[in-house]
Amino acid sequence: MWGDYNTEELARPSQLFSATSRSLHGFKGNYNIGNLQLTAIYGNGSEGFQRDTIAPDGTSGFYFLSRRLLVSGSEEIYLELEELNRPGTVLKRERLNRGTDYQIDYDRGTLRFQRPILRTDVDPQGQILTRRIVATYQFESQGGDTHIFGGRAQYTFTRTLDRESWVGATYFREDRGSQEFELYGADALVSLGENGRLIAEYAHSRNSLDFSEAVSGNAYRVELEGTVWEKVYGRAYWKTADTGFSNNATVSFVPGQTRYGAELRVDLSKNTSLRG
């Protein structure tokens, strides 16, 4: 198809570092061969791309983006929650909808939400969480046209609802004249029983400018979660990103940071649980 589209095929649940969540204009095609799904995207004439992170102040706005003269319909607005004392691990990411959740002025570059956005929250275990507004969008630029192309190949082993298993590979490239960005990776999701799953991911990025040396880096992630025993849930994870790794079109992360941990939760009743 040719027109406006988003890139949900390049942002699967098994992807974090290699994901691309963008709203683009151009061509997108999907083709299935049995259990193999192929996706190709192309964008021509795209403008500059920007990612802003804003700390909410407890009001509905106005919140000012760093650019003006935005491209209509190109924005993606999210609310992210993470632990206050453990930055770098997003616990929840919610995408908001224009009209229902917020209003945007494309000329002035302002956001106004339909409800106040609080800076902090508290989870059921009493831990303090911090909230941020993440906005990605295209803006009118004098730097010339941007050419975007990419794709994904995914082979699905099982299609049972909520128990899918697959392996995939993704490629994305953005040429902005003197600046080029390249991102590629591989990922896998394996369902384990009724409630468990294993996720593994690798990603590589490369930023290059005509007048400076290219910056590149790798990122890795492994997650394992599921029901260990009746009413006992376990989760373990490890993820790391090189200092030179970058991706502005995915969930927030901290370059140069390695995070790992494990969690065990016992549900004593419908409203009571122990976590450690």
pLDDT (tens digit, 9 = 90+) per residue, 102-159?
999 999 999 999 999 999 999 877 789 999 999 999 998 776 678 899 999 999 999 8
- CA atoms 156, 159, 162, 165: torsion sign: negative
Predicted TM-score (pTM) of this structure: 0.88
List beta partners, residue 119: none
Q: Which among 41, 19, 44, 22 is positioned nearest to 30, based on CA atoms?
A: 41
How large is the average pLDDT for residues 59-72? 95
Those residues with Cβ within 8 angstroms of residue 98's Cβ, 6 or more apart along the chain or in another chain: 75, 77, 104
Residue-range domain boundaries for the chain:
31-43+142-275, 48-139
Q: Binning pLDDT at 50, 70 and 90, where does residue 269 land? A: low
Distance CA 266, CA 274 (A): 5
Evaluate if residue 260 carries a pLDDT over 70. yes
